[in-house]
């Protein structure tokens, strides 16, 4: 296990020396997706995340986390989530079921040391947990796979319950709010910050340039559009994972509220001095984005990064995917799922092959010009022009 020796003035710590484990600045937050926005390479992430999902694992790896300490269970056995395996494969030490008191005893920016499941601050043990290995994660994943049947049964029950609650919305569109953005007869591109969303957006650039679809960002999907150089027309969600920059880009804001009308995201919008439309619905934010586009007359709905499979919905911590299942049945063939389109086809022509082709073409043109009468005329003209340029250049310095 590597040792990071830091010399950070002003922080609570004693001389680290050559103590074993990982020593680094700690960043602490109960929400992993909030933490990854400010986690720097070489820092220790302290989180509270049951069943670390694939997206969170990949985000922590991309940030360059030195270690991950989780006060919750990284793999609860509810389903085979991939986050812990991704972290270990990247060589990042993982500690699960750590002492919950860490959130009271460690402050953001403290220098801590993690070694064999123990967490130290100023040479004092402030918490302990279970250091994960490839073997422990493999055993937990095998146990989780055995319990998938229970999740299938829960999905069936969830589907029936969702139909009872949202049949008016699904069948007749009752409850869909009015918006000022014109959607009638246009293509709509809905972006969710899911698997491979960056690659898929890049692949869709020619489509976006040609068809100019209405761009809808679902929570963090709005930031994905902004990062790709686009300005979303509509941002929809509970706004817990979208930046103020995206919320202030001029897009129409639609707050996803609970069925009883409670809208936690509305307060944040009002604090920014913005106006928003409230959409009460039981389903997920990506589902109501599709229902909104369909109700307003979109001719085609293209979805990027959305969740569809059972594993994906369990990976997001949802008890079932009934809302998405029924939403897609409701929209039908109007919906095109572009998730993974970047992996559907990749050019087999390498850069070196293209350069070789260009070089061969130039050589061929040169040979043709050198042996043909017309080519000789062109070459003589080029020589005269070149000699004239040299004569002019010399004249500048004489």
The domains found in the chain, sorted by start residue, are: 22-144 (3.50.30.10), 148-344 (3.40.50)
222/233 Cα distance (integer angstroms): 9
Query: What pLDDT, on a 0 to 100 scale, did the predictor assign at position 156?
Result: 66
Query: What pLDDT, on a 0 to 100 scale, did the predictor assign at position 377?
Result: 73
196/192 Cα distance (integer angstroms): 10
320/305 Cα distance (integer angstroms): 18
Question: What is the token pair recorded at 207?
Answer: 């489509």
Q: What is the DSSP letter of 39?
A: P
Residue-wise pLDDT tens digits, 242-286:
999 999 999 999 999 887 778 888 889 888 899 999 998 877 888
242/150 Cα distance (integer angstroms): 33
Closest by Cα among 104, 95, 124 to 112:
124
Q: Which of 111-115, 314-318, 324-328, 364-368 is predicted most confidently?
A: 111-115
Dihedral over alpha carbons 82, 84, 89, 95 (to 10 degrees): 180
pTM assigned to the model: 0.60
Residues 232-237 have a mean pLDDT of 95
Closest by Cα among 227, 225, 216 to 181:
216
222/180 Cα distance (integer angstroms): 18
Query: What pLDDT, on a 0 to 100 scale, did the predictor assign at position 309?
Result: 63
Closest by Cα among 76, 89, 81 to 133:
89
Query: What pLDDT, on a 0 to 100 scale, did the predictor assign at position 186?
Result: 96
User: What is the distance in angstroms between the CA of the first residue and the CA of the last residue of the chain?
Assistant: 68
Query: What pLDDT, on a 0 to 100 scale, did the predictor assign at position 138?
Result: 93
Dihedral over alpha carbons 137, 142, 146, 147 (to 10 degrees): 10
Query: What pLDDT, on a 0 to 100 scale, did the predictor assign at position 159?
Result: 66
**pLDDT above 80 (res 239):** yes
């Amino acid at each position: 296990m590597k040792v990071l020796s830091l010399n950070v003035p002003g922080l609570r710590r004693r001389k680290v020396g050559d103590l074993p484990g990982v020593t680094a600045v700690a960043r602490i937050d109960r929400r992993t997706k909030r933490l990854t926005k400010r986690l720097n390479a070489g820092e220790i992430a302290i989180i509270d995340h049951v069943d670390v999902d694939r997206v969170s694992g990949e985000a922590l790896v991309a940030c360059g986390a030195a270690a991950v300490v989780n006060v919750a269970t990284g793999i609860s056995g509810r389903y085979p989530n991939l986050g812990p395996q991704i972290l270990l494969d990247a060589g990042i030490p993982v500690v699960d079921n750590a002492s919950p008191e860490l959130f009271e005893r460690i402050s953001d920016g403290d220098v801590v040391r993690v070694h064999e499941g123990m967490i130290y601050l100023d040479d004092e043990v402030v918490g302990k947990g279970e250091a994960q290995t490839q073997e422990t994660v493999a055993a937990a994943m095998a146990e989780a796979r055995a319990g998938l049947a229970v999740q299938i049964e829960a999905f069936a029950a969830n589907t029936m319950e969702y139909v009872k609650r949202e049949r008016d919305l699904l069948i007749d569109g009752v409850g869909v709010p009015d918006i000022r953005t014109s959607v009638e007869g246009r293509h709509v591109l809905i972006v969710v910050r899911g698997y491979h969303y960056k690659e898929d957006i890049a692949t869709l650039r020619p489509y976006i340039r040609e068809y100019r679809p209405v761009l809808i960002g679902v929570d963090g999907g709005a930031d994905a559009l902004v990062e790709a150089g686009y300005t979303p027309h509509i941002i929809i969600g509970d706004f817990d994972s979208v930046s103020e920059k995206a919320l202030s880009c001029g897009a129409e804001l639609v707050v996803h509220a609970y069925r009883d009308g409670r809208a936690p995201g509305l307060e944040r919008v009002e604090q920014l001095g913005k106006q928003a439309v409230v959409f009460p619905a039981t389903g997920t934010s990506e589902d109501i984005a599709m229902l909104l586009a369909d109700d307003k007359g979109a001719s085609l709905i293209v979805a990027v990064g959305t969740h569809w499979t059972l594993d994906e919905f369990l990976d997001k911590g949802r008890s079932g995917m009934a809302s998405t299942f029924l939403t897609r049945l409701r929209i039908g063939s109007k919906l095109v799922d572009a998730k993974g389109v970047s992996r559907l086809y990749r050019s087999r022509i390498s850069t070196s092959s293209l350069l070789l082709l260009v070089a061969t073409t130039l050589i061929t043109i040169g040979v043709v010009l050198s042996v043909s009468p017309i080519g000789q005329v062109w070459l003589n003209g080029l020589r005269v022009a070149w000699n004239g340029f040299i004569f002019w250049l010399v004249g500048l310095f004489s």
